[in-house]
Chain A
Amino acid sequence: MARGAGAMIGIGVAACVAALTLLPLGAVFLRAGGWPGFGPGDWEAVVFTVQQALLSAALSCGLAVPVARALVRRRFWGRGLLIALMGAPFILPVIVAVLGLVAVFGRSGVLNDLLAALGLPAFSLYGAHGVVLAHVFLNLPLAVRMLVQGWQAIPAERFRLAQSLGFGPREMFWHIERPMLMAIVPGALVVIFVICLTSFAVALTLGGGPGATTVELAIYQAVKFDFDLGRAGVLAAVQFGLCLLAAGLGWRWATPSAFGAGMGRLAMIPGPGGWRCWGDMLVIGLAAAFLLVPLGAVVMRGMPGLLLLPETVWAALGRSVSVALMSTLVTVAAALALALTVAARGRGAAVMDLVAVLPLATSGLVLGVGLFLLVQPLMIPSRAALPVTILVNAVLTLPFVYRLLLPQAVAMLADYGRLAESLGLRGWARLRWLVLPRLARPLGFGAGISMAFSMGDLGVIALFAGDREATLPLVVQRLMGAYRMDQAMGAALVLVLVSFALFWAFDALGRRHAAS
């Protein structure tokens, strides 16, 4: 039975993900030999972490709704490029994103120059609001893209029907767009909340000091400086708990949309005229400025360094790209298997759905230490560096790709499941004629995100180092560590450009092969 085999693969993936996230944590506790209490400041760290993550997620998703809606219902020159470019902040390396934001919102940034020229008081970037600003900058693109996908998944017939029934914009929102938002927003909220939960360098730098300590920073301290594995384990467990809580709430709250199947044509969503048109243009303009000006600053900062780049950069780039390609292949295949199994709502679907969030909540550091402890008795860890890197990248990006695939996999089965069944469409044929064309869009986007993520990876496998050949993010870090800031920013620009090109290529591939 092909479908039985499909379900088995899905269950296998879920088991692997659970093992890869939970076993390392267990290994850390076993090695620590205890469950100590919190250290000084740990409780404050938990409170701050949750507060900023809640605020960041709510703002990112709240702002994404008007932005995504404006983008799907307006047509203008350069729209496709704008949508693609607006996705770029999400794939910026942390340090580069920080310097980009500083160039715009910092003390000597563009914004304060402007305020000073207007005789207005200066804006200070550093503080809790700076953390939230940075997190919205980094995650608004993800929320916008998830929502744009949601809007595009609404069959064109619905809008036409609504128009023929004489729906105004308000009715249109209530009967067609609201149910879609109810299905997509909770998932987006959870994903962004959890990303912000594990944030660390951004939060500290823009938070202005130890008041902006997150749980992940405390874990870093425990692992790298105090070597207090017990405390690291406890903090990682707290992070896990928070994530599961958020996921539980979010998923419960989400209601699946039920539009029924359409002809598969891409919706040209009617854009109401009048002030709404101007409103949409304003929203798009503001969002574009907020996301693209810091990005422009990153490009400007990196340009001079491009000419000074050492040859090592290109070799490192090659290594980074090949590792990212392998990780992406694993991620996309695993996420697809998992999403199809969960969408089929067989036994254990709820558990598998939960398992798919686990990696998001995982502390990369604790994962690294745990895997090291697990691998060490079997082999010299440095020899396992490559497979471990690929596996860790794949597991850590799986939740994103899975989240993108699931709603559309559910809709696909609801709309075409019975038809496929009656045609006896199974196995490869089903994959080829139903699944891949219907899911091409999220698959392409997911692969793009996975590529960008795996390109940026750093730190998780620092322990497995050995005589490793440097990847591009490591080269950036080494250049900075050796005072060579210009070259570092140049190399970072190469990283960003290549990540973005790969992201764009996969995304475009998905769109081209989409059935709709």
Chain B
Amino acid sequence: MKTSILAAGVSLMALPAMAEQPVLTVYAGDYFTSEWGPGPAIEKGFEAICACDLQFSTGDLLPRLLLEGERTEADVVIGLTTDVLARARATGLFAPHGQDLAALTLPVAWPDETFIPFNWGHTAFIYDETRMAAPPASFDDMRNLPDDMKVVIQDPRTSISGLALVLWVKSVYGDQAGAFWADLAPHILTVTKDWSESYGLFTDGEADMVLSYTTSPAYHMFAENDLTKKAAIFPEGHYFMAETVGKIAGTDQPALADQFMGWVLSAEFQTMIPAANWSLPSALPKDQWPEGWAALPLPEKVLFLTEDEAEAQREAVIEEWRAALAQ
């Protein structure tokens, strides 16, 4: 089936009418369109069915939309994460998606009429079992790590995963979050600006654990055949994050935008998400996940803050984190 789609794509590209094709402009994060991101597969797949030219425009998502306002060139925006949705919604730039979300297979309810999740995952601490014989079995174990165990995390002020961590800690510990940070502080090797720096310190052996995602071991398993990287699964629950797609209200390609929004929920799109994005598909039953993925250890309990809860807590939890660690 894949080859027929490919063939259709190639024959479409060969048509001389190409120049006349309508253009669907999709804003995406920087990582998206590289050959190691999901962008190229998405572009090829959608262009095979839409008789259009899908053009990604990559860069900062929310700051760019806020600066551009009504002038934005975007028809569709892909990649806004759950914790920034409140602010994205408040721009008033997005239109209702009008799609039937019955196909969603998320572990949380998703009644949103504007944003459709296209993938999901949870935050988790990743360790290397060859270097850490006794990984923490619960979140509380993180407070009593052996003295020489060091964790590297991301700054909640500059990174989306760092923000997810402070919200995660808050969801688990509530009023005791400050005390948790004080206990973890001696084990924090350092805090980095974004995820990739942290992960680099972990893979280079400088840190024993890194804040990342439950799906991170999948990359090592499937791309590197390395089974030593594991996510520490905590019974207290793991923080849920999804990336979404939204349609711009002022789009000049409303029909194409709608078609794209619907396609995101299709099995074709969803089956390519795991390996292209190293995250879980949002609308695909577990028995249809690509081979090997269903065996990935995932937490039983999922912690989820609605965007309003996340937005209401954001400043306070960041400040609590900063105050506890700045000593």
Residues in A lying within 8 Å of B, measured CB to CB = 40-41, 44, 95, 98-99, 102-103, 106-108, 126, 200-201, 204-211, 213, 217-218, 220-221, 223-225, 227, 301, 310, 312, 369, 372-373, 376, 380, 382, 462-468, 470, 474-475, 477-485, 488
Contact = CB atoms under 8 A, between A and B. Distances in A.
Given A227-B87, A382-B57, A373 B192 contact: no
Contacts of B195: 481
B68 A480 contact: no
Contact of B200 (A99, A108, A463, A467): A99
A200 B68 CA distance: 27
A310 B34 CA distance: 11
Nearest to A310: B35
Given A41-B326, A126-B190, A102 B57 contact: no
B36 interface: yes
Nearest to B162: A225
7 tightest A-B contacts by CB? Answer: A465-B59, A482-B36, A480-B196, A478-B34, A221-B157, A481-B31, A211-B326
Interface residues of B, number: 54
Nearest to B278: A483
A218 B192 CA distance: 14
Contacts of A372: 67
Interface string B197-212: 1011101111000000
Contact of A380 (B73, B158, B185, B219): B73
Contacts of B325: 209-211
B205 A108 contact: yes
A464 B60 CA distance: 9
B2 interface: no
Question: Dominant SS at the A interface?
Answer: helix
Contacts of A466: 57, 59
B67 A373 contact: yes
B254 interface: no
A205 B193 contact: yes
Interface in B252-266: none
Interface string B151-191: 00001011000010000000000000000000001001111
Interface in B122-146: none
B150 interface: yes
B277 to A, nearest CB: 9
Contacts of A382: 57, 73
A477 B37 CA distance: 12
Nearest to B188: A209
B327 A206 contact: no
A209 B189 CA distance: 8
Contact of A478 (B37, B60, B62, B321): B37
Contacts of A206: 190
Contact of B199 (A107, A210, A225, A483): A483
Contact of B201 (A41, A44, A102): A102
B91 to A, nearest CB: 10
Given A463-B59, A468-B58, A480-B196, A474 B30 contact: yes
A376 B71 contact: yes
Nearest to B324: A210
A482 B37 contact: yes
A112 B283 CA distance: 49
Greatest chain B CB density within 10 A among A106, A205, A213, A227 is at: A205
